[in-house]
Chains A and B, each alone.
Chain A
Amino acid sequence: GESVGLHLPTLSVQEGDNSIINCAYSNSASDYFIWYKQESGKGPQFIIDIRSNMDKRQGQRVTVLLNKTVKHLSLQIAATQPGDSAVYFCAENTGGFKTIFGAGTRLFVKA
């Protein structure tokens, strides 16, 4: 069946270092992928998205990479800051309104 999962449930990085959060997906029909950030006590916040016809997209301090060959998605955060500490979810959409969230990775940023 459809599934979106993450390789690492937790990630701890030093402030100022780069962070990489990985995600595997299994549905080849997925054509749109999104990364969300969820801080404690808040709802998910959109970070960046990418369509299946792209392999890389950059935002402010964030980059999403998509490797359709191995069905892998990653989120890179440059110069990680304490405010980046949160749970990060990848999500995939196969069209229409249905978006499936992955299990989530908790990012800890050490000062």
Chain B
Amino acid sequence: DTEVTQTPKHLVMGMTNKKSLKCEQHMGHRAMYWYKQKAKKPPELMFVYSYEKLSINESVPSRFSPECPNSSLLNLHLHALQPEDSALYLCASSQEELGSTEAFFGQGTRLTVV
């Protein structure tokens, strides 16, 4: 199994809603990532978890709250988002450091904030 599975595929939420994005991998990877990708732009790193501990937070606003319940799961909790947060949110995993081994990306969650 070389898949990173993200749910839901699409999400529309209001600015006062609370929602969560989920990511799952069963490749035994110890590093997991959240990226944000706006249309026609490259992915931008948001968070990195290594061995279930938050390793990098790229100065992401607190309305985005990551969580790593176990080594296979990664969540992104969303609260009080703004329309400009609408984007494709990508989850990725890698065996070790992202810069050393192949990174696997999920298909993303297309988020629209209304």
Give the number of residues in B that approach A within 8 Å (Cβ atoms). Answer: 26
- Contact assessment for A97 and B107 in the assembled complex, using a CB-CB cutoff below 8 Å: no
Chain B residue with Cβ nearest A94: B99
Distance between Cα atoms of A99 and B92 in the complex (Å): 12
Minimal beta-carbon separation of A102 from chain B (angstroms)? 6
Residues of B within 8 A of A44 (CB): 43, 90, 105
Question: Would A42 and B107 be within 8 Å (CB), given that A97-B33, A97-B50 are in contact?
Answer: yes
Q: Tell me if A's interface is mostly helix, strand, loop or mixed.
A: loop
Count how many chain A residues have C-beta atoms less than 8 Å from C-beta atoms of the other chain. Answer: 23
Report the separation of the CA atoms of residues A52 and B92 in the bound assembly, to the nearest whole angstrom: 23
CB of A93 within 8 Å of the partner chain: yes
Contact with B along A1-40 (1 / 0, CB 8 A): 0000000000000000000000000000001101000000
Residue of B nearest to A4 (CB): B42
Known: A43-B108, A45-B105, A98-B56. A93 touches B42 (CB 8 A): no
